Structure 1
Amino acid sequence: MRIVVIGGGIVGASIAYHLACKRAEVIVVERGDAGRATSAGAGIICPWLDRENSQAFYELAYRSAAYYDDLIPALAEEGETELGFRRTGAMLLAIDSDALAGPEALVRARAEAAPQVGQISRLDPAQAQDLFPALDKQFSALHIAGGARLNGRLLAGALERVSVRRGAIWRRGDANLVVERGRATGVTVDGETLAADAVVVAAGSWAPELLERFGITLPVKPQRGQIVHLRLPGVDTTSWPVLHPADADSYLVTFDDSRVVVGATRETGSGFDYRVTAGGIHDVIREALRVAPGLAAATLVETRVGFRPVSATSNPLLGPAPGIAGLFIGNGMGANGLTLAPYSASLLASQVLGEPASPLLAAFHL
């Protein structure tokens, strides 16, 4: 079976990997637009604290987090070990420790079905600062040992390389969908037609423009995220936990090269304005220093901009496209793409190949 995947970010790369592992013939077409969410994302895996989304979303998210226990060793067997993946733990922060009671009860209840949560602990301000030395002294914390982080660019690259070694073809170009008699039959790329038995649209925030000419309204819009990368010279930040302030929609996550990633803006209505703005950087850094004033002397390394594909319901969109046979959609993961994509792609790949569809996907059909 020959499948064309439109889009080579974390969703497209994950789909290509799983299809290639199932011995399908795969062609990935990637346009290479600036602002791909995968290239900018922080890579936090800690879905057990989520209180905003549906139960169906949470079930997909916690299974997605668990799937990394299989994916990381599988990629290592293929020689792909540089992924930036580490279970550093995560801390939910609050000045008033009573504010942690509700989240703690939620996580403990969820831990029964999700052993990846690991040990759950309450930390006083001194204990929290021991784990994240730059942290303000006033924060108590709920510590979740199973929280993890990874580098989205490295993961997507690894998935691409393994898919290629298993026969997938990746090419740069602008793909346009071909539909004949109500069925997706392939794509055109720079005037060349690539025939296919099925097409998967995994083009992130750019997917709606591909589908609208065929009468499919994809309820996805770009949400600009500005993410700041800092460095603390000479400081080993390898094992510092991910930070989530309970009173703000922000995060801090560290990597092995003394890097601290802080973010991020959530700019709905931004369109594809690929700019770093003074206001955006001000907001991100002000929040980072409120939480971790020890970062004041850090070097500002870079700012990344990504366009998260956010659906109207905040749920991912996964499964067959309505009205066109052989056309499938993987989209709408918003800020959760690096958590959801590999596992969601494994389910979607099976469905594309005609295998029984996972009941998990039913809640996320367009």
Structure 2
Amino acid sequence: MSKNRVQIFDTTLRDGEQVPGCKLNTEQKLVIAKRLDLLGVDVIEAGFPISSPGDFTSVEEISKLVKDATVCGLTRANKKDIEIAAQALKFAKKPRIHTGIGTSESHIKYKFNSTQDKIIERAFEATAYAKKFVEDVEFYAEDAGRTDNEYLARVLEQVIKAGATVLNIPDTTGYCLPDEYGAKIKYLKENVKGIDNVTISCHCHNDLGLATANAIAGIQNGARQIECTINGIGERAGNTALEEVVMIMKQHPYLNLDTGVNTKLLYDTSLLVQRSMGMAVQPNKAVIGENAFAHSSGIHQDGVIKNRETYEIMNPEDVGVTESSIVLTARSGRAALAYRAKNIGYDLTKIELDDLYPQFLKFADFHKEVNNNDIHHLMELNKIKKTSIKL
């Protein structure tokens, strides 16, 4: 695989589904898994097989369904978890076991009541055991974002020796700043023996709104896999948003990085996940939000009407949105009113537009948005002749 190719690891069906109220049944998961495969993600984390019989069944059925992507099952660093995951993945064309353990001082001391050396031993044993079942083993160092870099390097050297193919460096609590997270990846690239033979993965949470920025900092410093979810859903404040990192790489060619994602399916996939999980995204959500390509300010509207790129860095069609939206409000100018009127058949003269605009503003002051029916009503009030209407 090209050094400039960034793999997209989608965990919508695992980390994303952990959001309260977003539980999916197996049938719903299969629909989303099929779409993710079509979207072109490299890895689908299908679930945590030992967590429940339902999760085991979902991972097993997804393994049967998926044609192109690697199917991954999560485990803790113990043999029973790994054995159950291997059973659930037995039908997968490309199976991966994702195992790991916490490595930060907080996790070692309070979560495991253990020592650094014992954690390294457990990490090695879990990775080596998973390797007995599948060739592709990903190791996660939970809370790597708050783990001392020197100790983290020691852990990763051992799991590479045990057979790990992917090293997941999670900012589990979303605590890191982008320069800190990027520097951590750079340190590992330069100080872990054998790291050039494996893939470094970024798994960033959004507690401080930095998940996307941290993931991009990670790939700029040598990581080549991003773990993310559709719409950025996930534990607490969520995960890195798939649509955001994919479009950042697409829109910034100087990064010289790309993915295998069909971006034209992003918007439709977002809607599918929103409907399935009953969790709508905020209108101002980057890339796929309702207002991502909507313009209501007169200055912006005039610029977009004249040349879309004046205020849009992305072509809406690239993410599966039909067109930009010119929303009429009290902040809209003459150009926007004329544009919207023309779209529904009114080719206004300058005199007609000058007469209509003050009344439009008075009307708009009392309404959040002026729709097509309102425009028709204004035309009738102004007695604009039907000869100016092109239907």
Higher relative contact order (Cα pairs below 8 Å, separated by 6+ residues): 1
Structure whose residues are more often helix by fraction: 2
Instruction: With the length of structure 2 as denominator, give the TM-score of the two structures.
Output: 0.24
Name whichever structure is richer in strand by fraction.
Answer: 1
